[in-house]
Chains A and B, each alone.
Chain A
Amino acid sequence: MKYVLSFNLNGLPVDTLVKATDTLLDVLREKLNVVSPKRGCDNGDCGACTVLVNGEPVRACLTIGLTVAGKNVQTVEGLQQDGKLHPLQRAFHEHYAAQCGFCTPGMLIAAKALLDKNPKPTREQIVEGISGNLCRCGTYVEVVEAIQAVAAGKYKE
């Protein structure tokens, strides 16, 4: 049994056929070729698959695809505007906040979710904001600095 799933992906409507047990991560990566969300654990532990659903951060690997019907899903593919990288992307780049880069999409989304709600977080709030995102390369310090730089307004247009 396949179901039609329709939702908004980075501002554009998409329709795709899915099984009831396909997760949003399966849908994005295997059906729609949107591969910024990574499959680190499929278990909720690593945060590499974090995406925004109606502006809230969720684990794509724990979200049954059909539950996002009619909702807005945002991934790193949708962060740039008019061909220009998002301030967080530029800050991550300049602060060397990615080493292998596997955790980076999840970190960017977690950071965006935080700053959307709380544009001037304390260092502690930043650490809490990315507490669900594991980095096997240990870039935490650089990630926090990059987010601090954006919060301080250093990457405004």
Chain B
Amino acid sequence: MKDVLYFAPTELTEALKLLAQYGEKATILAGGTDLVPRINYYELKPEVLVYIGNLGLDYIEQSDGKLVIGAATPTAKIAASPLVAEKAAALAEAARLSASPAIRTAGTIGGNLANASPAADLATPLIALGATVVLVSAKGEREVAVEEFFKGPGETVLQPGELIKEVRVPIKKGKSVFLKLGRRKAMTLSVVNVAVYVEMEKGQRCVDARVALGAMAPVPLRCKKAEGVLQGCVLPMSALEGAEFLDKARIEKAAELAIAESSPIDDQRATAWYRRKAGKVLVARALAAAAGVAI
């Protein structure tokens, strides 16, 4: 076997230079929790490992109305951050429910996204919250919406030489909710997961709704049709004018539409049939919790 090269740069510019130099031969290493099993079992034979854990990309900050999270921030840190809990509740919950303690201390938000599993737990809340990723290379920087970042299982818009620098989550007024169904409570990928964001004007009229589904399509999915039927609806007891009532029936309609947009598969964790049934219940529960509607 050819010798594998290892680099652990301490400056971002140095890392980008290495990635530019080695191009497709370079493999970015963050926490290693997705990558190293594949190396151990010879599914992946890296040529050049570029470790990004010493670049100072481990931070959670608030700036310009956004929550800014460095790509190498461990899931455990996101789960424990009071700032994330306050400004992006669904993301905090997804981080808390992901894997188990020793995986969360190593696994990072950038790795979770770049690995592009359809079941990646942090992807759905980021889509529901309208987050973006900042991608950098030796050539420059670009910002891509998380919902446009994924191309297919294991495939993203990342180009050779490019890395995720940080994730930006707009801080909004509404409420976000994340729900996950796994085969067991800990240490398991989602059979289905759901993240929603709902903003209620005066607590009564829905002025913004976003719905995202995980493990229900080749990529984490935003469900625009479901969102559409919630827009402008008012709570049944409301004095506000609204197109339609935001009640149990409407929420079930939205959940139905979300599932109609999805294309789940049978795999070792569940059948497509079960995913549709369970997914619909989760979407309805998440929307009800976010909108403050009893169902």
Give A contacts to B, CB under 8 Å.
Answer: 1, 3, 19-21, 23, 42-45, 47, 50, 56-59, 61-64, 66-67, 69, 110, 113-114, 128-129, 131-133
Contacts and interface: CB of A to CB of B under 8 A. Distances in A.
B4 A64 contact: no
Contact of A59 (B33, B39, B41): B33
B101 A62 contact: no
A50 B100 CA distance: 12
A113 B101 contact: yes
A57 B6 contact: no
Given A64-B36, A67-B29, A45 B187 contact: yes
Nearest to B38: A43
Contacts of B102: 47, 50, 57-59, 110, 113, 132
Contact of B32 (A64, A114, A128): A64
A132 B41 contact: no
Given A42-B40, A62-B33, A20 B6 contact: yes
20 contacts: A20-B6, A20-B46, A21-B49, A23-B36, A42-B41, A44-B37, A47-B102, A57-B102, A57-B105, A59-B102, A61-B36, A62-B33, A62-B36, A62-B37, A66-B8, A67-B8, A110-B102, A128-B101, A129-B101, A132-B99
B103 A59 contact: yes
Interface in B122-177: none
A129 B102 CA distance: 9
Contact of B101 (A21, A45, A64, A132): A132
Contact of A132 (B6, B53, B186): B186
9 A-B pairs closest in CB distance:
A132-B100, A131-B186, A20-B6, A1-B3, A20-B4, A57-B102, A56-B105, A62-B36, A42-B40
Contacts of A47: 100, 102
Nearest to B47: A20
Interface residues of B, number: 29
Contacts of B37: 42-44, 62
Contacts of B31: 62
A136 to B, nearest CB: 15
B37 to A, nearest CB: 5
Interface string B61-91: 0000000000000001000000000000000
Contact of A110 (B33, B46, B76, B101): B101
A61 B67 CA distance: 33
A66 B39 CA distance: 15
A154 B213 CA distance: 47
B106 interface: yes
B277 interface: no
B5 interface: yes
B51 interface: yes
A21 B5 CA distance: 9
Contacts of B187: 45, 131-132
A62 B187 CA distance: 15
A44 B38 CA distance: 11
A67 B10 CA distance: 12
Contacts of A114: 101
A23 B40 contact: yes
Contact of A58 (B29, B51, B105, B185): B105
Contact of B5 (A1, A56, A110, A133): A1
